[in-house]
Amino acid sequence: MPFTIAIDGPAAAGKGTIARALARHFGFAHLDTGLLYRAVGAIGGDPVAAARGLSPADLERDDLRSSEAGQAASRVAAIPEVRTALVEFQRRFARAEPGAVLDGRDIGTVICPEAEVKLYVTASDIVRARRRALELAADEALILAELRERDARDAARDVAPLRPATDAILLDTSDLSIEDALARAIDYAKAVGA
């Protein structure tokens, strides 16, 4: 039986790093669902058509980790038809053998509410801005403003708002090393049968 690990949380909290490491640890497939929305935003034009026609090659674009792609992803993710077009792809991926780790903003609440493990990875705004500024070699104050704007938009949207699932385990990485955060995530996943 497939085993699904759903990881949600705001940008630069460490969810992607933890998700990739968990997938490697357990031998599961990994999907950064934010890349789907980043790709749709980066393709441009009609976002619904872009979502319906999304291909694996679109997820390999070099510009998907940019701040601009992140902002575009947040905007197109608020369009219900875009979300609908991408939901089934994500659900099929989540139930593939032997298991999968998906990270995003609505995995435990909308995409995989039946996931065996649900984590909500977060960190303070300041820590997240510092991490993202280092990653992108960008101005920390500007990144902080962009993160806060995106978080507010994602938490307020009508469709699949950013919030932890009621049964998710909160993992605050503000004061944790990646090794410590990963160890906690592994321990939890093992405790429920991964």
Helices within 110-167 (DSSP H only): 125-136, 140-156
**Alpha-carbon gap, residue 148 to 130, rounded angstroms:** 13
**Alpha-carbon gap, residue 13 to 162, rounded angstroms:** 13
The answer to whether the annotation marks 17 as part of a ligand binding site is: yes
- Token output for 61: 């674009």
Name which of 115, 20, 31, 37 is nearest 78 in CA terms.
Answer: 37
- Other C-beta atoms closer than 10 Å to the C-beta of 65 total 15
The answer to whether the annotation marks 10 as part of a ligand binding site is: yes
For the chain, the straight-line distance linking the first and the last C-alpha, in angstroms and rounded, comes to 11
The answer to whether the annotation marks 12 as part of a ligand binding site is: yes
**Alpha-carbon gap, residue 101 to 182, rounded angstroms:** 13
The answer to whether the annotation marks 11 as part of a ligand binding site is: yes
The answer to whether the annotation marks 15 as part of a ligand binding site is: yes
**Alpha-carbon gap, residue 50 to 130, rounded angstroms:** 32
**Alpha-carbon gap, residue 194 to 183, rounded angstroms:** 14
Query: Look-up: residue for tokens 């932890």?
Result: 164
**Residues in the annotated binding site for ATP:** 9-17
Binding residues: 9-17
